[in-house]
Amino acid sequence: MSDSPPSGGPGGPGGPGPGGPQQPSSPPYLPSYAILGGNPTVPLDVPISTVFMAIFIAAGAVHMGVFRANIKRDHKFVFSALLFVFCLARVFALITRIVWAAHPDNLSVAVASNVLVAAGVVLLFLVNLIFTQRIVRSYHPQFGWHKITNGAFIATFALVIALLIMLITATVHSFFTLDPEVRAKDRDVQLVGATLLALLAFLPFPIVVLAIMWPYRQSGPEKFGYGSLRAQVFLVMTTSLLLTVGAGFRTGVAYDPRPLRESAWFLTKPCFYIFNFGIEVIVVIIYAAARVDRRFWVGDGSKAPGDYIASRRASMLPVYREQNRRESMLPGMLQPPPGISSGRASRARSTFADNIQELEGVASGSDAPFTSASDGPSVRSREIEWEKRAQHELEKRISDGDVQVPSALNTGDTDGAVPEHLLSKVPRDE
């Protein structure tokens, strides 16, 4: 939001300095200072904006496609839809910039373009904050699910929305007044809001670092989603730093206003596109390539310590059972194949069986090695509930082809050995 035109300036009440363009007779009025990126032009800005539009359209299509595919499998991840909305908002922002380039005297389009360019990135701030909250709950379940911690995150989300409303109001209002005192107040609001948003963009980084460094329970973090917790931490920290660079640059520009006729390197068009749309494109591509819809997924109804790991185990258990059932159909699987010692075959069978047995302990409530010492009866009951929910998802995965049946199981072409490729696919809790 900080790249919106600052208020107040030399050369008269809210107007440009001597020799500058004359203010129109009615609002909206010209800004008092040079803005980041300047006025768009057809030869330069239209081609660049078109390229970014194509990228955002493609990224939005990917995120919406992922969202629709997940919905069909009862795998709800609303952030894919939110990222689609973000991409759509950036497309509209670029459209208004193209229209502004074609109609440079239309200040109403200029106002809309500045507001849309500055406001959209707030959606990425919110997504990163929610991912951060899930990491905190993973490392420190009791603290992360505490009412005070939940209230702090909710207050932070509300602050982001309040800052967005405040900044939009101040920016639009600065275009509709020439009163120097009012424009000065609008500028103060813009500076405070831009500074706080830059801090909120950076906030996930120190929170995640503290969550990792602060001693957590002896049984380890409650893992959630698919993949390693280390990768989840890396994604949040990387995107947080990228968003901070963009927000920090825009805030720095706002603190060093320049007259309309004077330019500086940090006000040029390359800086505008790199620190706005360029960084945002990188972030949405990272989200799509890293499959955040799987890595940061948690089951519906998670509301207490133990729910993350319970939903994760339950989502894996039906797949393990199905693989075990199909493997049991192999004839002579108890006999070691030629060239493999009975000890090696026995170890292979026990490795697979141990995975099943440990997961079965989740549903039966037994003291299986997979159940941490801190899990009480209430946690086990939730694990059973998660298992029932996951059973329906398994059927969907099989019908969609997500769970592949090894060819040896379908054709019966086996020499009595446990296929190595089947054993290698036995999931491990990283």
Q: Which of 135-144, 198-207, 373-382 has the highest mean pLDDT?
A: 198-207
Best CA proximity match to 129, nearest among 245, 278, 296: 296
Q: Looking at residue 221, what is its pLDDT?
A: 86
416 φψ region: left (φ > 0), alpha (ψ -120 to 50), beta (else): left
Give tens-digit pLDDT for 242-274. Answer: 999 999 999 999 999 888 777 789 999 999 999
Give tens-digit pLDDT for 216-236. Answer: 766 778 888 888 899 999 999
**Residue 39 placed within a domain:** yes
Quick check: 193 pLDDT over 50? yes
What are the tokens at 64? 């919406």
Best CA proximity match to 8, nearest among 29, 27, 26, 25: 29
**Residue 111 placed within a domain:** yes
**Residue 389 placed within a domain:** no
Q: Looking at residue 103, what is its pLDDT?
A: 95
Estimate the crossing angle of helix 78-102 against helix 107-119, to 10 degrees.
150
**Residue 324 placed within a domain:** no
Quick check: 36 pLDDT over 70? yes
**Residue 326 placed within a domain:** no
Q: What is the mean pLDDT of residues 73-77?
A: 86
What DSSP letter does each residue of 239-272 carry, written as one string? HHHHHHHHHHHHHHHHTS--BTT---GGGSHHHH
Question: Rounded to a whole number, what is the distance in angstroms from the first to the last CA of the chain?
Answer: 41
Quick check: 359 pLDDT over 60? no
Q: How far apart are CA 286 and CA 122, in angstroms?
A: 17
DSSP class of residue 33? B
Higher pLDDT, 363 or 378: 378
pTM value surpassing 0.85: no
Q: How far apart are CA 16 and CA 3, in angstroms?
A: 18
Q: Looking at residue 284, what is its pLDDT?
A: 98
What are the tokens at 298? 């948690």
Q: How far apart are CA 4 and CA 257, in angstroms?
A: 11
Give tens-digit pLDDT for 101-136. Answer: 999 989 999 999 999 998 889 999 999 999 999 999
**What's the domain range around 301?**
33-308
Q: Looking at residue 220, what is its pLDDT?
A: 77
Quick check: 320 pLDDT over 80? no
**Residue 207 placed within a domain:** yes
Q: Could you give the number of structural domains in the chain?
A: 1
Quick check: 15 pLDDT over 50? no
Q: Looking at residue 13, what is its pLDDT?
A: 36
Residue 106: CATH number of its domain:
1.20.1070
